[in-house]
Amino acid sequence: MSLSLVPTELLQAILVFALDDNPCPCKILCVNRRFFELGQSLLHGRLHFYSINQLSLFAAGSAPLACAPRSVAIVLAGGSGDFEVFRHLMGVLKRCQHSRRIASGEVKESPEAHSFSDSESAQVSLDSLSLRLHSHSSNPHLGYIYEALSLANPKTFVWRGPDPEHHFSTAIVPTATYHLICAISTWTVIEHITLTNMSFPSDELGVNTPFSRDAPLLPPLPSLRTLYIGQATLLPPSSVAAMLARPGQDALECVRLVDTYRHSIWGNRIRLRDVEDAVGQLRTIGAEQRAEALRRVRRVVSCEKKTERTQGGDNGDVVGILT
């Protein structure tokens, strides 16, 4: 059967399968003109990067994209480290901004790379933004996390560690968490957030940080529907309680805390009763607000044990819901 007779919808499905995880998608696009036109739109609509080199090359380009990206994903195998990965992501999103302005006629196409204007401040609307990589406490450029992520405005955001799920590791270090939460505060349409393998800034050890035990876990996000936090340390239950006690987040339906710890992984996992007790200790709300916050915690929060370990901590608990 000639490829010219294959329905467009079927050919698009085939190209999606062929392009996913392909280290050299240009070979597929070079098959013929139809492959190029359909494939380029699929690639630009779903930007996937599997190496620092791919990120930096795309960020350095200046040609307009075939279409506005709907999703951006960065997956670095084995968590391969690069202290400027978020600077490259910032370049990727700025290129998306510039391409959008060209498509709308706001600016003319420029053949020069790095010709992006500082005035291109509109966030890039995305269905999803997904990261699977490590941050590093020794990285002097963690401020790029805010600079890059605040350029996007995703509906779904995921940042997971690159290690296997049974391997407990910290991919999002406390300073990275700080910059991440600052960036999240700029998102106006976020509905789903998944964060794993992370450690929170904490004042329980006497560290000077803007994230105190009584501060809400996340900034006000009226559109947020679900929050998943897994394999997290130094997470104060009171910050979860304060977030749910705050008005204006009526869309929030589910908060899952999976293998999360108030201190280190050698202590006990956070249980539902820890968050309930924290509601009773909040100093900024009255009795009526406290009762409503407690009802909301019981309706929305789920604390779970997922990953067993060989020894230590609460190893005797069964896998599942922790009440």
Q: What is the per-residue pLDDT across 177-234, written as a single tens digit (0 to 9) for each?
A: 999 999 999 999 999 999 999 999 865 544 445 556 678 999 999 999 999 999 999 9
pLDDT for 38 equals: 74
Q: Which amino acid is at 58?
A: F
Percent of the chain past pLDDT 70, that is, above it, reads 84
Contact 232, 171 (CB under 8 A): no
Quick: pLDDT tens for 24-69: 777 777 777 777 777 777 788 889 998 898 899 999 988 888 888 9
Q: Which of 184, 198, 196 is nearest to 160 (CA)?
A: 196
Q: Which residue has the higher pLDDT, 105 or 36?
A: 36
Residue 235 has pLDDT above 50, yes or no: yes
pLDDT at 167: 77
Decide if pLDDT at 263 tops 80. yes
Comparing 62-66, 154-158, 233-237, the range with the smallest average pLDDT is 62-66
pLDDT at res. 315: 60
Distances (CA, A) of 59 to 1, 20, 43, 158, 222: 39, 20, 15, 21, 32
What does the angle CA 177 – CA 186 – CA 173 come to, to the nearest 5 degrees? 5
Q: Work out the mean pLDDT of the chain and round it to a whole number.
A: 84
User: Can you tell me which residue has the tokens 């359909």?
Assistant: 38
* pLDDT > 70? residue 314: no
CB under 8 A, 24+ apart: contacts of 93-99 = 93/124, 93/148, 93/151, 93/152, 94/59, 94/120, 94/151, 95/58, 95/59, 95/61, 95/62, 95/65, 96/65, 96/68, 96/69, 96/124, 97/122, 97/124, 97/151, 98/62, 98/64, 99/64, 99/65, 99/68
Task: Determine the average pLDDT of the residues in 127-135.
Answer: 95
Higher-confidence position of 315 and 6: 6
Q: What is the DSSP string of 211-242?
A: --TTS-SS---TT--EEEEEEEES--HHHHHH
- pLDDT over threshold 90, residue 110: no
pLDDT value at 254 more than 60: yes
Q: Is the pTM of this model over 0.95?
A: no
Q: How confident is the model at residue 150 (pLDDT cuts 50, 70, 90)?
A: very high
Beta bridge partners of 254: 226
Q: Is the pLDDT at 112 greater than 60, yes or no?
A: no
Q: Which residue has the higher pLDDT, 47 or 101?
A: 47
Q: Is the pLDDT of residue 316 over 60?
A: no
d(CA 174, CA 203): 11
Among the CATH numbers 3.80.10, 1.10.287, 3.10.620, 3.90.550, which is that of 47-104+122-306?
3.80.10
How many Cβ atoms are within 10 Å of 64's Cβ, its own excluded? 16
C-alpha angle 218-222-225 in degrees, rounded to nearest 5: 80
**Between residues 97 and 214, the one the model is more confident about:** 97
Phi, psi of 124 (to 5 degrees): -85, 115
Query: Domain extents for the chain?
Result: 1-46, 47-104+122-306
What is the identity of the amino acid at 323?
Answer: T
Q: Which of 51-55, 166-170, 277-281 is most confident? A: 277-281
Cβ-contact 285, 245 below 8 angstroms: yes
Higher per-residue confidence, 210 vs 128: 128
Please calculate the CA angle 275-252-93 and round it to the nearest 5 degrees.
Answer: 115
